[in-house]
Structure 1
Amino acid sequence: MAKVLPGLFLSVAIAVTATLLSSLSIVKETVNFSPLIIAIILGVIIGNVWKIPEPLKPGIVFSLKKVLRIAIVFLGFRLTFQNVIDVGIEGLIVDTVMLVSTFLFGVWVSRKLFGLEPQMSYLIASGSSICGASAVLAAAPVVRAEMHHAAMAVATVTIFGTIAMFVYPLVYQFFGDILGFDDVLYGIWTGATVHEVAQVVAAGFAVSETAGNTATISKLTRVMMLAPLLIVLSFYLARKHSIHGAGVSLRDIPIPYFVFGFIAMVGVNSTGVVPQQAVNYINLIDGFMLTVAMSAMGLETNVNKIKGVGMKPIYSALLVFIFLFFVGIISLKIVHAVFG
C-alpha cells in the first residue's frame, strides 16, 4: 500500500478537481462535460506537461486497473436484469455482428492494404473488435507476437478509442435526431463499437445515465466474447501452422472475471434486498471511483507515443475506426428495424 498510495492520491486529487469543475455553472452552460471527461483531460495535460515521478506510477496503474475493475463491478447496482432484457436481442446481435466483422476487416485491411505482419494485424483487429489494450495484451501470446507488436497495437487502439470517447457524444448531440437514435440505441452503438471499457463508460455517461448503463451492458457483452475469440484464434493458428494438439492452453487465456462480478451485482440489485438509499450511496461512490480511473487513464496517455508508432498501423487502425463508426450505425439500424 505504501507504493500505491502516492499515485492513488494524485488520481483522487484530479478526480476531486474534475468533480468540482463539472459542477460549476459556467461548465454546465457551455460544454456540459461530465466529471469523467474532465478527469481524463486534466490527466492528459498533467501527464504530458509534467514527467510523472517513478514513485507515483504504481498508484496510477492501480487506479487504472484495480479501481476501474472494482468500479465496473459495482456499476451493476445501476442496473437490473429487467434493464438487460430491455437491451435484449438487439444489443446481442449488434455486438456479435460488429465483433466478427470488425475482426475480419481489421485483419484484411492490415495485411492486404498495408502489408503488416500477421501478428500485428491480429492484434489491431483484436483490440478494435473487443476491448482495446486488454484484448491486444490477451491476444499477444496467442498469436506469438513480439512486445513491439503489442506496444504499437496498444498505441493505435488507444488513440482511436480516445478519439471515439469524445466524438460519439458530440455526434449524438448534433446528429442523434437525424440518425433516429434515442439514449438506448446510442448506448448499444457505443458499447458495440468503442474500443476500451473505460472509454465506453465515459462516452455513455457523458450523454445520460440510461445511455451509460446501456453502453456498459453492450460493452461487457463484447468483453465476455474475448475468451471465445481467443480460443477460436488459437485453434485456427494451430491448424494453419499444422501444430496439431499444441497452441495455447485454455488456462493461459485471460478471462475478464470482473464481468462476472458485474453480473452478480446486477443480480443482487434485481432482488431488491439492498435498500434504495444504500443503492444511491453505492452509485455515488462508484461514480467517483470511475472518475479516479479516468484520471489515471489520462496520466498514462503519453502523447509522444504517437511519434514512435509507424504510420501503417495508424492508417490501418484509422480505417478500422471508420468501419466501426459507420458499419455500427448501419448494423444497429437494420437490427432495430427487424427486432425493435
Structure 2
Amino acid sequence: MPFSPAKRKDTLSGILFVAIFAAAATMIADLSAVKNLGISPLVVGIVLGIFFANTMHNRIPSVWEGGITFSGKKILRFAIVFYGFRITFQQIAEVGMEGFMVSLIMLSTTFILGTYLGQKFFKLDRDTSMLTAAGASVCGAAAVLATEPVLKSEEHKAAIAVSMVVLFGTIAMFLYPALYSAGVFAGMDDKTFGIFVGGTIHEVAQVVAVGGAYGKDAADAAVIVKMTRVIMIAPMLIVLGIYLSYAAKKSGSAAGGVKLVIPWFAVYFIGMAGINSLLQQYSLQHAGESIATLISTSVANINIIDTFLLTMAMTALGMGTRFAKFKGLGLAPLYTAGAMFAWLIIGGYFITTWVVAAF
C-alpha cells in the first residue's frame, strides 16, 4: 500500500516531486509564446516528464516511484471527475441538435476508424490504436488520460498518443485558418464554421484559438460543440469498458469469468457536470448577488486546481516513458493519426454541412 506507515513518507516525496515538475510546466505554459500556440500545461508536463525519464531518472530514490505511480493513476481519476466542472448541460442545449449530432458522429466515426486502421492497416497494438483514436476523437490529451485507466495500458503508449494529438492539433491551428482564407469553407456561415471547428479540432485550447478568430457566433458554437464532445467521453468509456469485457469473454482470454469493466470515474464526471449545471443555473437566476459571485469564483478555482492535478498526472505519465519502449513502432502511429486527421477535416466538413442543412 503506498500510504502504509512504512511507505507514506516516500510516497508523499514522490507526489511532491511530481508536483514541482507540474508547477514548472504550468509556468512554462503561461508564457505568451507557448500560450499563443494553444499548448496546454498538460502537454508541457508530459514533455518535462519524458525529458526527466530519459536523462535523470536514476538520480532520484527508487522508493519515490510509488508517489509517481499514485500521481499517474489515482490523482488522474480524481482530476477527470472534477473535469466535469468545465461543462454544463445548458451549453449543450444551447448549440442545438445539429451541434450534438456533429459531435456524436465525429466522435464515434473517428474512434472506430482510428482503432480499425491502427490495428488492421498499420499493425499497431490495440492499446496504442485506441489511445490515439481517443485523443483525436474526443478532447486531445485529457481524453488519452481518461482512456488509459480503462485499457490499463503502459505509460509509453499513452505518451505516443499524446504526441500525435499535439502534432496534428498544432497543424490544425494553422491549416484551418489557411483553408478558410483560401475560400475552402466559403459555403459555411460563422455558426456552421464554429460547429465544424468544435467537432473536429483536437484540444479545447486549439478550438478556442481557431474559433475565436472568426467572430462571436463562430467562437461560441466552436467552444460549446467542443464541450459536447468532452462530456461524451463518459458514455464512450462506459461503452468501451463493456466492449473490452465482451471481447475478453469471446476470446476466452480471462479464466474464471470476465468482470465487466465500468469506469466509475466517468460516471462521476457526468455527476459533476450535472452539479455544475445546477450551480450555473442558480447563478444566472441570482446574478449580481454575493452567492452567485461565490459560485463562479469557486468553480473557477476548482478548474484551476483540476488543471494542475491533470498536469501532475500527465507529468507522471511522462516520467514512466522511456524512448527505448518506442522501438519497433516506426511510423505507424503517425500514419494512424494522419488518417484520422484527414477524416476530421474532409469527413467533418461534409458531415457538418449535411447535419446543419438537415436540422
How high is the TM-score relative to the length of structure 2? 0.67
Find the counterpart in structure 2 of residue 196 from structure 1. none
Does 1:286 pair with 2:303? Answer: yes
- Please give the alpha-carbon distance, in whole angstroms, between the structure 1 residues aligned to 2:206 and 2:179: 19
Q: Which residue in the other structure is 2:18 paired with?
A: 11
Q: Are residues 1:316 and 2:332 paired?
A: yes
Question: Who is 2:177 aligned against?
Answer: 176
Provide the rounded CA distance (Å) in 2 between the counterparts of 1:238 and 1:26: 50
Judging changes above 3 Å, is the alpha-carbon distance between structure 1 residues 19 and 182 closer, same or farther for their aligned structure 2 residues?
A: farther
Amino acid at match of 2:173: Y
Deviations 1:219-255 (A, max 9, x none): 44144223324434554665577x9xx96243x4544
Task: Give the equivalent residue in structure 1 for 2:56.
Answer: 50
Pair 236,171 (structure 1): closer, same or farther in 2 beyond 3 Å: closer
**Counterpart amino acid of 1:109?**
F
Q: Describe the shift of the 1:247–1:289 C-alpha distance in structure 2 as closer, same or farther (beyond 3 A).
A: same
What does residue 146 of structure 1 align with?
A: none
Per-residue deviation, 1:202: 6.6
1:95 aligns with 2:107: yes
Query: Does residue 128 of structure 1 match 2:139?
Result: no
2:89 corresponds in structure 1 to: 81
The residue type paired with residue 97 of structure 1 is T
Counterpart code for 2:162: G
Instruction: Give aligned pairs, total.
Output: 308
One-letter identity of the residue aligned with 1:224: P
Q: CA deviation at 1:319?
A: 2.4
Aligned counterpart, 2:188: none
What's the CA shift string for 1:100-120, capped at 9, x where partnerless? 22233233215xxx4x7xxx4
> Could you tell me the percent identity over the aligned residues?
22
Q: Is the 8 A contact 2:47 2:318 kept in 1?
A: no
Distance in 2 between residues matched to 1:18 and 1:173, nearest whole Å: 24
* Distance of 2:86 and 2:242 partners within structure 1: 32
The 3 A distance-change label for structure 1 pair 303 and 201 is farther
Per the TM alignment, residue 84 of structure 1 is displaced from its structure 2 partner at its CA by 1.6
RMSD between superposed Cα atoms in Å: 3.9
Pair 300,103 (structure 1): closer, same or farther in 2 beyond 3 Å: closer
Report the TM-score when normalising by structure 1: 0.70
Note closer, same or farther for the CA distance 1:239–1:55 as it changes in structure 2 (3 Å cut): closer
1:337, distance to aligned residue in structure 2 (A): 0.4
Show structure 2 runs of 5+ residues with no match.
Answer: 135-142, 186-191, 213-218, 284-290
**Match in the other structure for 2:351:** 335
Contact 2:15–2:71 (CA under 8 A) maintained in structure 1: yes
- Once residues 182 and 53 of structure 1 are traced to their aligned partners in structure 2, the CA distance between those partners, rounded to angstroms, is 52
